[in-house]
Structure 1
Amino acid sequence: MAAPLTRTVRSRIETGRLVLYSILAGALVGALGIALRLVLAQVVRGGAMLTGYSPPGTPGEGGLLMAFGDALPYGLLTLPVVAVLAAWLTRDTPSDPLSETVSAYHRRGGTRLSTQLRLLGANLLGYGAGLPIGRDASFTALGGFSARLLSRFGRLSVAEDRTLTLASVAAALGLVLHAPLAAAVLLAEVLYRRFEFEFEVVMPCVLASVSAYAVYGLAFGAAPLFDVPTLQAPSALQLPMYALIALITTVIAWVGVWLSRLWPQGWLSGWPRLVWAAAFGLAVAAVAAFSTPVVLTGGAGWTQLSLSGFLGGEALGFGGWKWVLLALGVRLGFGGGVLPSIAAGALLGTGLNATLPTPLDPAVCALVAATAYLTVTLNIPLAATLLAATWGGDALLPAALISSGLAHSLSGQLGYVDGQLRDRRTAEMQVITPTTTILSAAPPPSSEEALYRVAVPMSWLGARIGVLSLPAGVQVVGLERGEDILSATPDLKLQSGDVLDLVATDAAFGELRDLLNLG
């Protein structure tokens, strides 16, 4: 009989598996990303035919730096219909794909494949019709969809599934932002509102992002998303003025986040969600028809115009409308993610620069303000700084660091991302009741039985409690489904999001944890 593997050998094998799966996940995302970009091109073309308006694009995506056509009133009337359809498709999920990713990670249960498909479809529809949704939302949903495909064909533990889901989403964001390393840091940072990270997922996210970008680059090259002119490092005398722009942008962004949190929770589900989605779509159509069509789509093209110096004081009004619609729509699923916040911040920064007695470099102002805005809305100061440096060069680092540091220190812990937890300690404590032992803690020193709560792993979904293969000494005593606590009858089928209440000795639960590789 072969000797059992030592803990060191098992750890090396598990690490090697994760490395290989991360590279495979990235390659899969890269291949699917190529297809999604082609689909998005057709969706945007169809939306332009419908509304009569085509927004400017970004050089990295092959777009042109000019808008075409005027928004047609009858075409804009489709926005409420599309908004209702998108809200109906995402009725069982948080506000946007990034929020769903964060929520799924913390609840230790993956998102269903059908849910990921609905998220992808809703964001494709909304983006094509002209709702203020960034193209990054579709890519984020694609990353989650790719992770679910991988989990179906690979024998993944709970910990591996959670990590590879983040890695797949990081890879997808790296494609759309043309910044794979910054996207990897973003996914490790966005999980918490405080300046804390999940360091264990950084390397899988990096491997997946680089792998995906390599595959994606075979089809579309590796040009940066934005064409930013060569920037001179801001002088010490200019830094206070850039800090002032960051401060004003921080206050504006914080007020927008605060306003978005005023939505009563009862309005965000059921038929009220559909009614408010229709009202939001009508509001977007009204602004586009009677004020400016800049509010249509995510605004990445208008960010490029800000960086190129083609906008002046009018950008302040454009950014103001973006700010209003983000505050109104983000809890309904319209405007969450990276690019809408980048666009709002860049427009505000360009407009604020035009009000100064002696204007500064418009590209630096746009990136500094975008960094501050993104830091406030997503609580990602480091990732926001890395994105600014990726697009604007290393010369921007001093101003970007000041901007993100100022924004994060002043904005508190509000944000657009549903499911974000305060810190790592909160993540560990969120499943504890007075009689519950934490999963990630060491087993108690005694051999007495204790009550444990374990999220149902993906491999158990659909199985009946009576057929579960549990170690001796582990007994299922209850099941938590939403706000209900059900009796653990043998014929009860397990569903996504369920939590099992187990009674077990410390040794038996340790055996179960090794069996499932609970992270």
Structure 2
Amino acid sequence: MERRRLWLLFDAFFLGIVGAIAAYIFAHLVNLSQEFFLHNLAKYKPPGLPSEGGSLKEWIGPYGLLLIPVVTTLGGLLSGLIVYFFAPEARGHGTDAAIRAFHFKEGRVPHHVPFVKMVASAITLGSGGSAGREGPTAQIGSGIGAIYAHLTKRSPYERRLLLLMGMAAGLSAIFRSPIGCAFFAIEVLYSQIEFESRALLYCIIASVVAYAFSGFFMGWEPLFILPHHIGITQTHEYLFFAVLGIFSGIMGALLPNIFGFIHSYFEKMPGPFFVKPAIGGLLLGLFALFLPQILGIGYGWVQMAINGQLTGDLMLLLAFAKALAFSLTVGSGGSGGDFAPSLYVGGMLGGFVASLFGQDPAAYVVVGMASVFGAAARAPIANSLIVVEITGGFELLPAAALSVMLAYLIQTWLTRFLPYKSLYESQVPSPVHSPAHRGEFFTDILTGIKVKDIFNPHKVWATIPEDMTFRQFLEFFGRSEQHYFPVVDREGNLVGIFSINDIRPFLFNEELKDILLIKDIARKDVITTHPSEDINTVLKKFTLRNIDQLPVVADDDPKKFLGMISRREVIAFYNKRLEELKKQAEET
């Protein structure tokens, strides 16, 4: 056990470094792609981080915005072709693919997928696609973890751990949020507030190593710059953050359904797959002629919202516009992430709420980012940590916790009436529902269960006298449906047992049928159980001889036969209890 733990710790360090390198390469590819498509072809340069202000005119070239639809369409077409020909699994927002691999594919990812995802996503983002880097990075990091697990020939359990380590490392490097990204990797798997807790230690190590290593390449500053002394100093402001939580819960319910509706529409659209991202890109480009703020990752515009450079009405408009733009980009089959769009939507919504109450927008933009994404992704705790880490606004954590949890509660209530519950279709409610944990809950569910809780004492079982001849038994056997036959002496004490398999060698030997007695066939070393014995012990007894039924004897008399208990009855009881637990989990 200690040796395996040490090996996993080494894995975490190794994947932290590799994940950071992969994230750096991907970020560099995105920058190169943006320089080529948006800057050189479209002559459009959106604000960067940190934003220094300015107007749209300063970022638009001599052709205005006319070339934007051309560039977004071209980017969608190129990305669609790459995914279509090399890795169809690479389309979409990436994180859901990692979740699916954990639950349903034993942590396996085709080896070429991370590299195709890297190129396709870089083209989508660089050409103005309204998506983020973090979702692809999650798929790239988890894919690298899966490849490493394959090369080192790991078990399904460890493959899943390595996949989560790779995801946490990649996200931490790109997001500069070591603790939040580690929690995100283990929380986003489930639609309820559940964690893959046994992976937390290794994910934190991988995440911190990736953060430290990436600091040499991408710097140590948070993604966003906040004004000094941003903490909440007035009690009544928490009411404003509660209102933000309510609005964020509604937006967190709308966002997956806007995305899901558009994705479903494109899925049903006739025509080759690679054309659909181009159509999505064209629609996005036409939309951007009126609102160019929706193009690309959009963090520069979020920084402007933090700085108070956008009006409340514009921020509300941009929140809904970004939700639609993201859905057109990724829902059409484009390759990009949902982190950045969700943070953008939440930030703009938070800025709008601040304007309603006449407050400085910075704190509300930050808390809005955490609230909308925490609700829409069903990962409220991780996103609270991520947002305060990427902004450095740790003093906002209490306000964020209030707003995020309200948003989560409202989102989960509202989506009961909506077709799409979360941004991630592959989430399952809890570990009980995950194929990754199939069989692990067997002993947990049956803990404390005794034989008497399953055993039916009223069922009549035939016992065979030990001095009965084999011919007499065969006459009885023709009328019986039993497969196991307890053998008793003249006083009714249990002295043996045999099954239909034990009598096969004698069935066609006429000379033995009147000579052979049942006590000559029966096994004397009977494995029994009793009413007060726990079921986990009984299960082990079933496996000793690979038998399907055990005699039940009295607690105070090991010779007094009470009946039989079968392996099938135990499994049926387990399945019934498991369904009860699932229903309880769904109700909560």
TM-score range, shorter chain: 0.7 to 0.9
Give distance in 1, aligned partners of 2:345 and 2:339. 10
Q: Which residue of 2 aligns with 1:40?
A: 30
Q: Secondary structure at the match of 1:112?
A: coil
* 1:57-72 to 2 correspondences below 5 Å: 57-59=48-50, 68-70=59-61, 72=65
The one-letter amino acid paired with 1:395 is E
2:227 to 204, 208, 229: 229
1:131 to 122, 129, 132: 129
Q: Does 1:154 align with 2:160?
A: no
* 1:241-252 to 2 correspondences below 5 Å: 241-252=240-251
Q: Which residue of 2 aligns with 1:492?
A: none
Q: Which residue of 2 aligns with 1:24?
A: 14
Q: Does 1:80 align with 2:73?
A: yes
Shift of the alpha carbon at 1:336? 3.7
Q: Which residue of 2 aligns with 1:168?
A: 166
Taking a change above 3 Å as real, the CA distance of residues 113 and 86 of structure 1, as seen in their structure-2 partners, is: same
Q: Which residue of 1 aligns with 2:100?
A: 103
More displaced, 64-73 or 253-262? 64-73
Q: Secondary structure at the match of 1:407?
A: helix
Taking a change above 3 Å as real, the CA distance of residues 143 and 65 of structure 1, as seen in their structure-2 partners, is: farther
Q: Secondary structure at the match of 1:253?
A: helix
Q: Which residue of 2 aligns with 1:210?
A: 208
Residues 22 and 205 in structure 1, CA contact (< 8 A), matched pair in contact too: yes
Taking a change above 3 Å as real, the CA distance of residues 99 and 332 of structure 1, as seen in their structure-2 partners, is: farther
Residues 234 and 399 in structure 1, CA contact (< 8 A), matched pair in contact too: no
Residues 89 and 97 in structure 2, CA contact (< 8 A), matched pair in contact too: no
Shift of the alpha carbon at 1:65? 5.5
Taking a change above 3 Å as real, the CA distance of residues 366 and 348 of structure 1, as seen in their structure-2 partners, is: same
- CA deviation string 1:118-148 (max 9, x = no partner): 2222111101101011122342243134324
Residues 131 and 326 in structure 2, CA contact (< 8 A), matched pair in contact too: no
Paired residue total: 429
Shift of the alpha carbon at 1:98? 0.8
- CA deviation string 1:144-175 (max 9, x = no partner): 34324423543432222211111111111111
Q: Does 1:347 align with 2:340?
A: no
Q: Secondary structure at the match of 1:261?
A: helix
Q: Which residue of 2 aligns with 1:411?
A: 411
Structure 2 stretches lacking a partner, 5+ long:
416-420, 444-535, 549-570, 572-588
- CA deviation string 1:368-422 (max 9, x = no partner): 2212210122111001111232224232112101111001111116111131111
Shift of the alpha carbon at 1:74? 3.0
Q: Which residue of 1 aligns with 2:254?
A: 255
Q: Which residue of 1 aligns with 2:4?
A: 14
Give distance in 2, aligned partners of 1:245 and 1:264. 28
* 1:102-501 to 2 correspondences below 5 Å: 102-107=99-104, 108-230=106-228, 231-262=230-261, 267-268=266-267, 271=271, 273-289=273-289, 291-313=290-312, 314-334=314-334, 336-354=337-355, 356=356, 358-390=357-389, 391-412=391-412, 414-428=421-435, 438=439, 441-442=442-443, 444-445=539-540, 446-447=542-543, 448=546
Residues 120 and 141 in structure 1, CA contact (< 8 A), matched pair in contact too: no
Give distance in 2, aligned partners of 1:162 and 1:449. 34
Residues 284 and 329 in structure 2, CA contact (< 8 A), matched pair in contact too: no
Q: Larger relative contact order (C-alpha < 8 A, sep ≥ 6)?
A: 1
Q: Which residue of 2 aligns with 1:457?
A: none
Taking a change above 3 Å as real, the CA distance of residues 363 and 264 of structure 1, as seen in their structure-2 partners, is: closer
More displaced, 48-57 or 35-44? 35-44
Give distance in 2, aligned partners of 1:87 and 1:64. 35
The one-letter amino acid paired with 1:183 is C
Taking a change above 3 Å as real, the CA distance of residues 406 and 73 of structure 1, as seen in their structure-2 partners, is: same
More displaced, 224-233 or 385-394? 385-394
The one-letter amino acid paired with 1:364 is A
Q: Secondary structure at the match of 2:261?
A: coil
- CA deviation string 1:325-376 (max 9, x = no partner): 234444345564311100111112213322x2x4112011111221221012
Shift of the alpha carbon at 1:180? 0.9
Shift of the alpha carbon at 1:224? 0.9
Residues 319 and 345 in structure 1, CA contact (< 8 A), matched pair in contact too: yes
The one-letter amino acid paired with 1:226 is F
Give distance in 2, aligned partners of 1:280 and 1:34. 28
Shift of the alpha carbon at 1:274? 4.0
Q: Which residue of 2 aligns with 1:435?
A: none
- CA deviation string 1:176-195 (max 9, x = no partner): 11111110001111000000
- CA deviation string 1:199-235 (max 9, x = no partner): 0111111110111111111233311111111212242
Give distance in 2, aligned partners of 1:418 and 1:330. 14
More displaced, 191-200 or 217-226? 217-226
The one-letter amino acid paired with 1:407 is A
Give distance in 2, aligned partners of 1:330 and 1:34. 22
Give distance in 1, aligned partners of 2:180 and 2:161. 17
Give distance in 1, aligned partners of 2:147 and 2:277. 30
The one-letter amino acid paired with 1:74 is L
Residues 102 and 436 in structure 2, CA contact (< 8 A), matched pair in contact too: no
Shift of the alpha carbon at 1:441? 3.6
Shift of the alpha carbon at 1:262? 3.1
Q: Does 1:92 align with 2:89?
A: yes
Give distance in 2, aligned partners of 1:266 and 1:347. 27
Give distance in 2, aligned partners of 1:51 and 1:111. 36
The one-letter amino acid paired with 2:12 is S
Scaled by the length of structure 2, the TM-score of the pair is 0.68
Q: CA RMSD in A?
A: 2.6
More displaced, 44-53 or 320-329? 320-329
Taking a change above 3 Å as real, the CA distance of residues 361 and 84 of structure 1, as seen in their structure-2 partners, is: same
Residues 375 and 381 in structure 1, CA contact (< 8 A), matched pair in contact too: yes
Q: Secondary structure at the match of 1:113?
A: coil
Taking a change above 3 Å as real, the CA distance of residues 325 and 38 of structure 1, as seen in their structure-2 partners, is: closer
Give distance in 2, aligned partners of 1:297 and 1:324. 13
Residues 248 and 372 in structure 2, CA contact (< 8 A), matched pair in contact too: yes
